[in-house]
Structure 1
Amino acid sequence: MDRASLRKQLRSHRQSLSAEQQLAAAESLSTVVCGSEAFRQSQHIALYLASDGEIDPRFIAQVIWEQDKFCYLPVLDQNDHNKMYFQLYRPNTRLVDNRYGIAEPELDREKTVKAEALDLVLMPLTGFDEKGHRLGMGGGYYDRTFAFLERSSKPILIGLAHECQKVSSIPVADWDVPMKGVATEKQLYR
């Protein structure tokens, strides 16, 4: 199956989950991620605000704040459609919708942090396989932002997904940046 067809099928799987299933998955995901060594050893952690049926990392954000760690959200550049930045996220952060209708902090370049300064990045994905291949939404933002990882080991990239988004094999593209693992509501795949 090609990437576009697979993306459509897997988005449909995650969108079909009920509100109760989504909430239970988010709570279980928090236990899986926050119990990991990567999380325990990280101070600067980026995540995302769920949309389109993505597994929700909001309980992870609460643990980050409770443990006095720093939480960041991706912010898209409104002028340069290829750039993504990371900005500090706190419970009282004012959010605006980006061009895709996803809530994010209002971009303030003076408040952004370099991707290289992050310890752990919890990434959304559409699908994954046990080899660590990720199928994103197709915009390429994470792949462009973390292309430097070919020559660096930080940050650690972990994809977040519902277990129903796992497939036997993801078609890999040359530009795909590999992850160190994928966390679902059931387990952490390395």
Structure 2
Amino acid sequence: MSKAENVAGSLVEVKKAVRKAGLSARGTLSPVERIEHSLGLVEFVAELEVEPGSVVAGFWPIRDEIDPRPLMDALAQAGCSLCLPIVLGDDLEFRLLQKDGPLVPASFGSMAPGPEAEVVHPNFVLVPLSAFDRRCNRIGYGKGFYDRALSELEKLTNLTAIGVAFAVQEVEEVPMEPHDRRLDGILTDRGLLRTGD
């Protein structure tokens, strides 16, 4: 085995450990704590500085993820359009979310607008994650959907990507590879952490 293969293999193991640490910490929160922390995100909506008229991609929470839907509602009330991602093959497609519009079951137990919904290119993306560090590096679930989606969206729009998580998911360091994108900030129940803070 070459030195490069050894390094790549060890990085995979380190990433697995970091992912597990973030998810384990998230799993220690009670259902009531998860609800309270999710609702608390709304207190920091002004700190996001999202321009009215922006197209904001949220996400439908799965398992014990933080729930961004109250925050998404606050952004809609501030004049933003909302969309949700759906997995198509190895990529994410963002579909416009209409108030009272129909939702259909999507990958990983989430929900999303159906195929009749307009496909949009958000300029502000709320990103789910397993773990994050103080430098706004994130680790997802290992499939790379958001890394690819953010890379494509950056070609189309002036993109802002903000991770959304519970504060307990913070780790000392997230190992980064060339294809990994540092986020512009991380919003938790304790407030907004920006790149460079």
Interval containing the TM-score (normalised by the shorter chain): 0.7 to 0.9
Match runs of 1:36-115 below 5 Å: 36-40=47-51, 43-77=54-88, 81-108=89-116, 111-114=118-121
Whole-Å separation in 2 of the counterparts to 1:151 and 1:72: 19
Alignment partner of 1:138: what SS?
A: coil
Shift of 1:68: 3.3
Alignment partner of 1:96: what SS?
A: strand
* Shift >3 Å, 4+ stretches: 148-153
Alignment partner of 2:49: what SS?
A: helix
Kindly provide the amino acid, as one letter, of the partner of residue 25 in structure 2: H
Change (3 A) 1:8 1:85: same
Whole-Å separation in 1 of the counterparts to 2:147 and 2:129: 12
Change (3 A) 1:150 1:111: closer
Whole-Å separation in 1 of the counterparts to 2:83 and 2:99: 11
Cα-Cα RMSD: 2.0
Shift of 1:19: 1.6
State the partner residue of 2:4: none
Unaligned runs of 5+ in 2: 1-12
Kindly provide the amino acid, as one letter, of the partner of residue 100 in structure 2: N
Q: Which moved more, 1:156-165 or 1:97-106?
A: 97-106
Shift of 1:94: 1.9
Asked whether 1:8 is paired with 2:20, we answer yes
Whole-Å separation in 2 of the counterparts to 1:94 and 1:150: 29
TM-score, length basis structure 1:
0.86
Shift of 1:152: 7.3
Instruction: Kindly provide the CA deviation profile for residues 57-110 of structure 1, in whole angstroms up to 9, marking residues without a partner as x.
Output: 111122133233201111111xxx2111111113323222223222222234x7
Alignment partner of 2:182: what SS?
A: coil
Unaligned runs of 5+ in 1: none
Q: Does structure 1 retain, via aligned residues, the 8 Å contact 2:21–2:131?
A: no
Q: Does structure 2 retain, via aligned residues, the 8 Å contact 1:26–1:185?
A: yes
